[in-house]
Amino acid sequence: MPFARLIPCLDVAHGRVVKGVSFVGLRDVGDPVELARFYSDGGADELVFLDISATPEEAVTMTSVVARVADVLEIPFTVGGGVRSVEDATRIIESGADRVALNSAALADPSLITAIADRYGSQAVVISIDAGDGVVHTHGGRVATTTPTVPWAIEAAERGAGEILLTSIRCDGRRQGYDLELTAAVRGAISVPVIASGGAGSAEHVAAALQIADAALVASIVHENPTGLPGLRREIENLGIQLRPLKDGR
Amino acid sequence: MSDVVVVDYGAGNTRSVRAALTHIGRTSIVSSDPSSIRDAEFVILPGVGSARSAMEHLDRTGASRALHERFDGGVSTLGICLGMQLALETTEEDGGVAGLGLLAGYVRRLHGERVPRLGWARVEPWGDTYYFAHSYAVESADAVATSDGVTVAVRRGPFLGVQFHPEKSGPAGLNFLERCLSPA
């Protein structure tokens, strides 16, 4: 098995990182490119960019962010938000992203998963699921659908999703730990890897998630202290989780 | 130093490979032109997309023949991920596709605990850790390295193929590319 992955998630709106990043050492905390490089140097295994402003007019802005990030980043990154068609996926992947994350568009038209996977491979398709009370939610977790979470994860994987990004609405933003029960239920039902998301408040929380999931998404815990990423990695490793060895800075 | 030619096969992320080359001080062009591919000092066959459309594109543009000519002439080519898999005889992907046949062996779907195999893993006997993202893997008599028991590098003559993505593997990946590109 590959090493467990630690994945900082950056919310981007109008080409800028929008929330929660506080760090005086960066010239421009809102610049996705500078922050991406900073996290990469700090030992992030991957990055996720979520375009929370995603509208058709914003597509061009996000594409240019993706291209600029790809030019400086030597670790993989996923882009989500606003991916509603094969053309959107093409635009983002050919600008240099490794993977696209789909959420409501895949729910509305599950054949989109297969169409993108056929073109770029399953490893390029992440299905993002916002889960609460046993069902999938849309609109950033505000609207409940009638689609049950676990069967949707199974269907997404069968249709070609290469990874599930699973966010617990109940835990997200509360910093009380990930929803381990939900994560275990989804991961146990499918054979593609799972990224646990929502609730990281400490290294213990992340380590507990990584006992179950293949990767853990982290947001405020790193954004509030970007220089703390290497320390967070060490703490997680001290709790018995093997992360990839970081050698020689370049 | 001449430009590195990154082979274009229609779909795929050539931008990251080119960015990595820039980081190690090399210029590159993206091309499917047979004579550029045949005559380049170094060629990279990158890896995103699907096997069938990639092979069709290589055949249609004449890039396939140019890759064979380089190989026969003993000139170095690096295949990355799908770019390595295409160099073998056949692949199971897309219902079965004939590859370039530069190297012995075939490509099979992975049957590990989690597929796709995603993330950073150590490569033996080299010892370094690189980034992987694959659902298929090679089985070849030309294997030269493994990771978690899976063949992840093959070499025959001037062709080296790797399953991992050196362009996405941080400093270790850049060092790997630099070693590939430096004259023996």
Please write the tens of the pLDDT for every residue from A41-51: 999 999 999 99
pLDDT at A22: 53
Quote the CA–CA distance of A115 and B50 in Å, as a whole number.
12
Residue B132 has pLDDT above 50, yes or no: yes
pLDDT at B184: 59
Ordered by start, the domain boundaries in chain A are 5-238
- Correct CATH for A5-238 of 3.40.50.2300, 1.10.10.10, 1.10.3720.10, 3.20.20.70: 3.20.20.70
Local structure of A242: helix, strand or coil: coil
- State how far the alpha carbon of A92 is from the alpha carbons of A82, A84, B26, B50, in Å: 10, 11, 25, 17
pLDDT at A248: 47
Ordered by start, the domain boundaries in chain B are 4-181
Residue A25 has pLDDT above 60, yes or no: no
**Is B173 part of the contact surface with chain A (CB cutoff 8 Å)?**
yes
The ipTM of this complex is 0.94
Pairing of strands A215-218, A5-13: parallel
- State how far the alpha carbon of A240 is from the alpha carbons of A69, A231, A236, in Å: 32, 15, 7
Q: Is A28 a catalytic residue?
A: no
- The tokens describing A90, both together, are 């093409």
Beta strands in chain A (DSSP E): 5-13, 16-17, 47-51, 77-80, 99-102, 125-132, 135-138, 143-148, 163-168, 194-197, 215-218
Q: What is the pTM of this model?
A: 0.95
CB contacts, 8 Å: B12 with chain A: 94
- The tokens describing A182, both together, are 């939900």
Region B95-108: mean pLDDT is 96
Q: Is B81 a catalytic residue?
A: yes
Which residues have C-beta within 8 Å of that of residue B9, sequence separation ≥ 6? B32, B49, B53, B54, B57, B58, B63
- Which of A116-120, B12-16, B130-134, B153-157 bottoms out in mean pLDDT, i.e. has the lowest? B12-16
Residue B22 has pLDDT above 70, yes or no: yes
**Is B114 part of the contact surface with chain A (CB cutoff 8 Å)?**
yes
Pairing of strands A125-132, A163-168: parallel
Which residues have C-beta within 8 Å of that of residue B127, sequence separation ≥ 6? none
Q: Which of A130, A172, A179, A214 is catalytic?
A: A130
Taking alpha carbons only, the member of A213, A216, A138, A215 closest to residue A182 is A213
Quote the CA–CA distance of B104 and A77 in Å, as a whole number.
33
- State how far the alpha carbon of A51 is from the alpha carbons of A65, A82, A103, A143, in Å: 10, 7, 12, 19
CA-CA-CA-CA dihedral for B7, B13, B16, B19, to nearest 10 = 50
Residue A209 has pLDDT above 90, yes or no: yes
For residue B72, the surrounding DSSP H or E stretch is helix B63-72
HSE-CB at B122 with a 13 A cutoff on CA atoms is 10
pLDDT at A215: 98
Residue B175's φ and ψ, nearest 5 degrees, are: -60, -40
Q: Is B165 a catalytic residue?
A: yes
HSE-CB at A42 with a 13 A cutoff on CA atoms is 22
- Burial class (CB within 10 angstroms; exposed 0-12, middle 13-18, buried 19+) of B122: middle
Residue A88 has pLDDT above 60, yes or no: yes
Please write the tens of the pLDDT for every residue from A212-228: 999 999 998 998 888 89
Chain A positions with Cβ closer than 8 Å to B: 1-5, 40, 45, 67, 70-72, 74-76, 90, 93-99, 118-124, 162-163, 191-193, 214-215, 244-245, 247-250
Region A136-148: mean pLDDT is 92
> How much is the mean pLDDT over chain A?
91
Residue A26 has pLDDT above 70, yes or no: no
HSE-CB at A15 with a 13 A cutoff on CA atoms is 10
Band (A249; pLDDT cuts 50, 70, 90)? very low
User: Is 1.10.3720.10 the CATH number for B4-181?
Assistant: no
